[in-house]
Amino acid sequence: MRLILLGAPGSGKGTISEVLVDKLHLFHISPGELLREEVRKQTTIGKEIAKYIEKGELVPNKFVVEMVKLEIGKRKDFVLDGFPRSVEQAKEIKDLKIDAVISLEVPEKVVIERFSGRRTCPKCNAGYHIKYIPPKKEGICDKCGERLIQRKDDAPQTVKERFKVYHKETAPLVEYYRKRRLLHQIDASSVPEEVSATVLELIKTLKKK
Ligand code: AP5
């Protein structure tokens, strides 16, 4: 199955992707993670990319589009988490057969609370929340034992900019995919277990069609 997860920053795209990897063995493609990996490696490109991420802006297409296409390659099943992020990016993959686009809908004030508690593993990219998805041992990744960090772009001023960019560039994709009859909107404001169950149920229904 080939899925696209749409949603504002902090709507739970990464969290739901982890569930889809675990339960349905989909391959996870997250440009956010790929870009952060490039930044960590401190390559020339990585240093250039960091400037955009830290300001909360979209990284230019010349860095992102080919990188994502390369990851997709000839894979049959995957979940795209954070791509496309603009109509321009959607057009870049218009020939790719996508089974469904799931839009995770969460009010902005709920998401703001999620950011303050988010913790991320810099080694294996597992995501946590100190209240909703706490690691077994405080500050340590359950999966690989690495010390958890707070993302630089989770600073309140950067989050504000990320929302601005989301409304201008990414939100129009809801209509774009509705017109193509691929859109499924999910209320993603409840606890992670409930949101995951709703998404898995939706996928089950889609598979039967
Ligand atoms: P990216 O890493 O994709 O960030 P994002 O889209 O802003 O989304 P987040 O990772 O912040 O949130 P999420 O929706 O995955 O939520 P999560 O599951 O973590 O991109 C970062 C940057 O990279 C961009 O700003 C841009 O610069 C660049 N970039 C990326 N893609 C690009 C592209 N295509 N083109 C150009 N540039 C690009 O959840 C958030 C928190 O809430 C976590 O702590 C989690 O544990 C918790 N949580 C999750 N679900 C629930 C729930 N149901 N209840 C309570 N807590 C929950």
Residues 64-84: pLDDT tens digits?
999 999 999 989 999 999 999
- Which two tokens mark 147? 């010390």
Distance (Å, whole) CA 93 – CA 69: 8
CA 76 to chain centre: 19
Is 151 among the catalytic positions? yes
Higher pLDDT, 182 or 115: 182
Q: Is the CB of 26 under 6 A from ligand 1?
A: no
Task: Decide: 7 in ligand 1 pocket, CB within 6 A.
Answer: yes
Determine if ligand 1 sits within 6 Å of the CB of residue 12. yes
pLDDT category, 209, cuts 50, 70, 90? confident
- pLDDT tens profile 158-202: 999 999 999 999 999 999 999 999 999 999 999 999 999 999 999
Q: Quickly state the pLDDT bin for 116 (edges 50, 70, 90).
A: confident
So what's the pLDDT on residue 17? 97
* Residue nearest ligand 1's atom 5 by CA: 9
- pTM of the full predicted structure? 0.94
- The best mutation among 13, 18, 106, 121 to test binding of ligand 1, ranked by most ligand atoms within 8 Å of the C-beta, falls on 13
pLDDT at 141: 97
Encode 172-201: b = buried (16+ Cβ within 10 Å), e = exposed: ebbebbeeeeebbebebbeebeebbebbee
Q: Is the CB of 3 under 6 A from ligand 1?
A: no
Residue 206, pLDDT score: 93
